[in-house]
Amino acid sequence: MSGLLALLDDVAAIAKMAAASVDDVAGQAAKAGAKAAGAVIDDAAVTPQYVQGLAARRELPVVGRIALGSLRNKLVFLLPAALLLWAFAPWAIAPLLMLGGAYLCFEGAEKVQHWAWPGRAGHGREEETETQDPAHLEESRVRGAIKTDFILSAEIMTIALAAVPGDSLWLTGATLAMVGLGITVLVYGSVALIVKADDLGYVMARRGRLRLTRWLGRKLVASMPGFMVGLLVVGTVAMLWVGGAIVLHGLEELGWAAPAHLIELWAGQAAEAVPPEVKGAVRWGAGALFDGLFGLMLGLALLVPGSRFIAPLWRRLFGTK
């Protein structure tokens, strides 16, 4: 009897340790996912364009295929690569993170450039829609989306890896797996809602029994173009902010702390100019603003080499931007 009680006590202790470990994994995954906010928002903002021009009945299946491809990117390819980095080359995490941050800045600056000169972008999608039959168009869209997702997923997993304390291999792996799964569900669940929102609004406007329902449906349909523009703007701002902060933090780790300290000084000066109740918010907001401006300047500096050398090489290797 005493042996059985001891065994039950051991089982209870193991269960408590497992629960604590699960809590640790969930907490670290939440923190790491928050660090990857810029890439996550960009992913959610970019993906809906891949269902434009497709039949409405194919929108959700296409989003589902892209989501499965994204999950495969994260768990089959990027998770083992991240664990190998963690185990054998932790020194490479900071440079890779800076490379991902610079890419975010480049993408954000490229979007700003396209908004400033809209005639320089936006023709490829119409041509693609006109020259391909629906089956081939859907297949090429899915392949292109999964390839693009691989870049964004690599940024997300690298950012998450840098945010996870290096306590143990299994804790790091479990946290990264939870980040990958959670972000994929969040992003592509949101994308599914976005791409079907106008259909829902149309049904409400046409079949709603109440006048309020029909009015809400019309408003939903009318608001979607503006919502998509707003989502792209938020995604661009997030990319520049997060990308700039990543590069600045990396430079600080590599021994060049002057830019980060200067931004911290400016943010502190901005906080001193406001009442004590809002000092923290102003300090954070000013720091994020200066990080974003740094990201924009870095991205603009990368536009010429990126568009003339890196982007053509990437298209040649992978068949996408």
pLDDT of the residue at 65: 93
Q: Are 108 and 236 in contact (CB under 8 A)?
A: yes
Q: Are 254 and 94 in contact (CB under 8 A)?
A: yes
Residue 220 neighbours by CB distance under 10 Å: 19
Report phi then psi at 89, rounded to 5: -145, 55
Q: Are 56 and 199 in contact (CB under 8 A)?
A: yes
Q: Are 144 and 79 in contact (CB under 8 A)?
A: no
pLDDT of the residue at 75: 92
Q: What is the CA radius of gyration of the chain?
A: 23
Nearest to 145 by CA among 61, 85, 267: 61
pLDDT of the residue at 69: 94
DSSP-derived letter for residue 50 is G
Nearest to 243 by CA among 138, 66, 100: 100
pLDDT of the residue at 299: 92
- At 84 the three-state DSSP class reads helix
pLDDT tens digit at each of 321 positions of the chain: 444 334 434 434 433 443 344 444 555 545 544 555 556 666 666 677 777 777 778 888 999 999 999 999 999 999 999 899 888 888 888 888 888 888 888 888 988 888 887 765 444 444 444 456 777 888 888 888 888 788 778 878 887 887 776 667 888 888 888 888 988 988 888 888 888 888 888 888 888 888 888 899 999 889 988 887 887 788 788 888 888 988 998 898 888 889 999 999 999 999 888 888 888 888 989 998 999 999 999 999 998 887 777 667 666 665 554
pLDDT of the residue at 318: 54
